[in-house]
Structure 1
Amino acid sequence: MDPITLGIIVAVGLIVLMAIGTPIAFALGGVSLMALLYDRGLPELTYFGETFFDRIAEFGFVAIPMFILMGAAVASSPTGRDLYRSLDLWMGRLPAGLAVSNIGACSIFAALSGSSPATCAAIGKMGIPEMRTRGYPDGVAAGCIAAGGTLGILIPPSVTMIIYGISTETSIGRLFIAGVVPGFMLAGLFMIWTIIACKLAGGYANPLAVSAEKLKNTVQQNVDSNMKAVVRVLPFLGVVAGILLALYGGVATPSEAAGVGAFLCLMLAILIYRMWQIGPIKLIMRDSLRESVMIMLVIACAEVFAYALSSMFITQTVAAAIADMDVNRWVLMGVINVFLLVAGFFLPPVAVIVMTAPILLPIILAANFDPYWFAVILTINLEIGLITPPVGLNLFIIKGIAPDISLRDILLGSLPYALCMVLAILLLCLFPGIALWLPNLIMG
């Protein structure tokens, strides 16, 4: 059987398994096992086990559970609540100020947690009920949180950037820096659309169903408590800044910086919020373990899947077909973007990166594109998948937070933000310096 036919059968098998609710890791591993048995026979089982364990034994992957622990310590403490209060204090009276402050809170919390689901859940639990109470449309309230949560995989420190760096053997520190300006540019686009959406929905500056005098009194009453919230959040921001400086300055490796950051965030959560009981600490460890195992299992199974495709020459055939396309390099980039977009609709970011980055990198380099710039493009494509069906993880998190908001309203509220991401990709293609200026400035 020729590689293309085999590839189609494998892809259909994977889609069927995911459609019936099989976890991503088990679907990848099961399809890989059946394909290898068909193509190579029982002796191939030896290589299946070796490939599975060898991949996750790399030292660089130590950073992943450490950053996840760091994010869990932040997400399980009231840090998100304090961050939300802090930004609401300063931005609450701007046009659509509460929704805009939610996106700002998502941007900063993304830097603290490095996780899109954690960002979406932590800010959404407070932001969505408050926005609905003040009269914001359900679509805007749900959409701005769902979109803001996606920033967790772009703004550093980002777990997906670590996986991309290991998979492509590129500098993780440089990848982190490359995501800073695009991340905040994307947050800015989200804020602009939020203001426009609020004006289109009601034509009001701030949809708070109280008088201006009452609003003034309410703000004055909350200034003291909100200022205390600012003080409590600052040490966590200091930890993130210290991690990034250590990475960019070459003082520590990603694994070392992640370990120190996890320890400091855990200690800050215990000391600042007095989480002395064993219950909250146990919850942090449980959530960290659960997410770490899930990600590492997906990485291991995705590596086996990539090995199976390579063994059957499917990868090489597809790569050669793309490389042999006699088209302009920007047309080639457009094809790659469509491929990544479709892959992101069905697979989590971790699986897409592990399976596609090593294949696409030689093609990107041959077309004279920068691998760090491409990492940002790839990540934004995967962000779109987080707020679009059929997987759309952030959509389902919002649905869990606000079950009385229909999935249709959540989806319609999120789609304009997906178009903002498409606009961000176009801006990065027109002006690559948005992603490359800061890494070149800091690291040369």
Structure 2
Amino acid sequence: MSIALLSIILLVLLFAFLGAGLWVAFALLGVGMAAMALYSGAPLGLVMATTLWGHGNSWALAALPLFIWMGEILFRSRLSDDMFAGLSPWLTRLPGQLLHVNVFACGIFAAVSGSSAATAATIGKLSIPELSERGYPEKMIIGTLAGSATLGLLIPPSIILIVYGVATEQSIARLFVAGVLPGVLLVGLFVGYVILWALLNRKRLPDETLHVGFAERLRQSRRLIPVVLLILGVIGSIYAGLASPTDAAAVGVVLALLLSWSSGSLTKKTFIDGLMGATVTSCMIAFILAGASFLTVAMGFTGIPRILAEWIGSLGLSTFTLLAALTVFFVIMGCFLDGISVVVLTASVIMPMVLEAGIDPLWFGIFLVIVVEMSQITPPVGFNLFVIQSLTGRDILFVAKAALPFFLLMVAALVLIAVFPGIVTYLPGQM
């Protein structure tokens, strides 16, 4: 059987499995089994058993459930209230006023959550009613929340960066550090857009006449101190080389529990709910990673990634042309699959051609995450759109339209990191 025919059969089989509603992990395992049965004489059961055990028995993967648990704890705490109260006094004189609370609060929560859906839900539950009551335009409330919540995928500790690191055998600590400056870049782009929109639409904004004195601002800002210390404790320890991502995740869980306890929101119910939520999510991701690891090995037996990489190389595409094509491909994939599934489904095929093109896999990881961020606000399966739809009662197309400017800002961020790759690689180079 030719490689071209085998590739078509496997692709059709994958979409058939996914279209039938089969779990992503089972779909990956099924396609891997079919690939080995059709093209390889290797012992299928032995290869599957050793692959699943070898990739599941990973110390780096231990950081995943810990960071998820940390986010679940803080999701059930009063963190969103504290962030709104601590940030709002400083933003009333900035063009756009309290619309910036969505951007900065999402950026802060992203640094302790790792999940864009959790970021959207946590910040949105407080900011949407509060900003609506004050008279801010609904489209801007939804747009700033939808766009800024995607930062949960990029700003460390990012769950999807852990998945990418495990799937491609990249350093998770270096990936975390590499995500810091691009995250700051996106926050800057979002804030700049809100300021520009506010200057052009002054009459559509409410008049925040209450001006808080400097001393009162400082007093309100004290509510931000615990979460800032948590961020510094987790990310700072990794950057300083004092702790591995797994060690930092364990510290983060302890600090999150203390923060939740000190705010009075840690109860037996919230503790158990957080633990069970983290268990369910971690098992789902670990199961998908197990299926992806077996598919990667199966693809290695068929030789499809190598041949595809050689074919792409023979086309003589420039790096920018290849990246543009991959961006379109990933956005289309993201229209139908969640971000983690996109990463694990494509890693075994995409990485050989990325390496063949001379692209730094560390840089490509951040590039990929930003593209996946874009897919989170792209219908029909943009997870952030569903979360915000449930909070506002608006239809998904209205939410997607409100988020469109922020989608375009992410495209601008992709262009900037492609033209200036040092935005991604500078901090990891200092470790």
Q: Same fold (TM over 0.5)?
A: yes
Which residue does the alignment assign to 2:239? Answer: 248
5 Å-filtered alignment, 1:259-338, equals: 259-270=250-261, 272-338=262-328
Report Cα offsets for 1:239-264 as digits up to 9, x if no partner.
Answer: 22122222122222211111111122
Counterpart residue identity of residue 175, structure 1: L
Which residue does the alignment assign to 2:79? Answer: 79
Contact conserved, 2:96 with 2:194, CA < 8 A, in 1? Answer: yes
Secondary structure class of the residue paired with 2:98 = helix
Q: Which range moved further: 384-393 or 156-165?
A: 156-165
Secondary structure class of the residue paired with 2:202 = coil
Counterpart residue identity of residue 399, structure 2: I
Which residue does the alignment assign to 1:436? Answer: 425
CA RMSD of aligned residues (A): 2.6
Unaligned runs of 5+ in 1: none
Which residue does the alignment assign to 1:148? Answer: 148
Report Cα offsets for 1:322-353 as digits up to 9, x if no partner.
Answer: 22222333323333333333333333332333
Shift of 1:42: 11
Q: How many residues align?
A: 430
Indicate whether 1:233 and 2:224 are aligned: yes
Contact conserved, 1:95 with 1:205, CA < 8 A, in 2? Answer: no
Counterpart residue identity of residue 431, structure 1: F
Which residue does the alignment assign to 2:193? Answer: 193
Which residue does the alignment assign to 2:69? Answer: 69
- Distance of aligned partners of 1:133 and 1:27 in 2 relative to their CA distance in 1, 3 Å threshold: farther
Q: Which range moved further: 172-181 or 362-371?
A: 362-371
Counterpart residue identity of residue 101, structure 1: V
Counterpart residue identity of residue 397, structure 2: R
Counterpart residue identity of residue 412, structure 1: K
Shift of 1:274: 2.1
Which residue does the alignment assign to 1:412? Answer: 401
Which residue does the alignment assign to 1:44? Answer: 44
- Distance of aligned partners of 1:115 and 1:247 in 2 relative to their CA distance in 1, 3 Å threshold: same
Report Cα offsets for 1:99-148 as digits up to 9, x if no partner.
Answer: 22211110111001111111111001111222222333333222211111
1-structure distance, mates of 2:358, 2:340: 25
Counterpart residue identity of residue 168, structure 1: T
Report Cα offsets for 1:39-73 as digits up to 9, x if no partner.
Answer: 56995244334323331211110011111111111
Contact conserved, 1:303 with 1:355, CA < 8 A, in 2? Answer: no
Secondary structure class of the residue paired with 2:335 = helix
2-structure distance, mates of 1:6, 1:196: 52
TM-score by length of 2: 0.90
TM-score by length of 1: 0.88
Specify which of 202, 208, 212 is matched with residue 204 of structure 1. 202
1-structure distance, mates of 2:225, 2:3: 55
Shift of 1:395: 0.6
Specify which of 402, 420, 425 is matched with residue 414 of structure 2. 425
2-structure distance, mates of 1:160, 1:339: 18
Q: Which range moved further: 57-66 or 276-285?
A: 276-285
Secondary structure class of the residue paired with 1:400 = helix
1-structure distance, mates of 2:273, 2:221: 25
- Distance of aligned partners of 1:11 and 1:276 in 2 relative to their CA distance in 1, 3 Å threshold: same
- Runs of 4+, deviation exceeding 6 Å: none
Counterpart residue identity of residue 238, structure 1: L
Shift of 1:76: 1.2
- Distance of aligned partners of 1:83 and 1:147 in 2 relative to their CA distance in 1, 3 Å threshold: same
Q: Which range moved further: 45-54 or 244-253?
A: 45-54
Contact conserved, 2:85 with 2:223, CA < 8 A, in 1? Answer: no
2-structure distance, mates of 1:379, 1:281: 30
Contact conserved, 1:94 with 1:206, CA < 8 A, in 2? Answer: no
Contact conserved, 1:72 with 1:288, CA < 8 A, in 2? Answer: yes
2-structure distance, mates of 1:306, 1:32: 8
2-structure distance, mates of 1:97, 1:8: 53
Counterpart residue identity of residue 73, structure 1: I
2-structure distance, mates of 1:3, 1:92: 61
2-structure distance, mates of 1:357, 1:249: 29
Which residue does the alignment assign to 2:116? Answer: 116
Report Cα offsets for 1:68-92 as digits up to 9, x if no partner.
Answer: 1111111110112211222122113
Counterpart residue identity of residue 124, structure 2: G
5 Å-filtered alignment, 1:83-232, equals: 83-198=83-198, 203-204=201-202, 207-208=205-206, 215-216=209-210, 230-232=221-223
Contact conserved, 2:153 with 2:159, CA < 8 A, in 1? Answer: yes
5 Å-filtered alignment, 1:47-58, equals: 47-58=47-58
Q: Which range moved further: 317-326 or 28-37?
A: 28-37
Indicate whether 1:386 and 2:384 are aligned: no
Indicate whether 1:395 and 2:385 are aligned: yes
What is the aligned-residue identity percentage? 36
2-structure distance, mates of 1:19, 1:68: 28
- Distance of aligned partners of 1:145 and 1:21 in 2 relative to their CA distance in 1, 3 Å threshold: farther
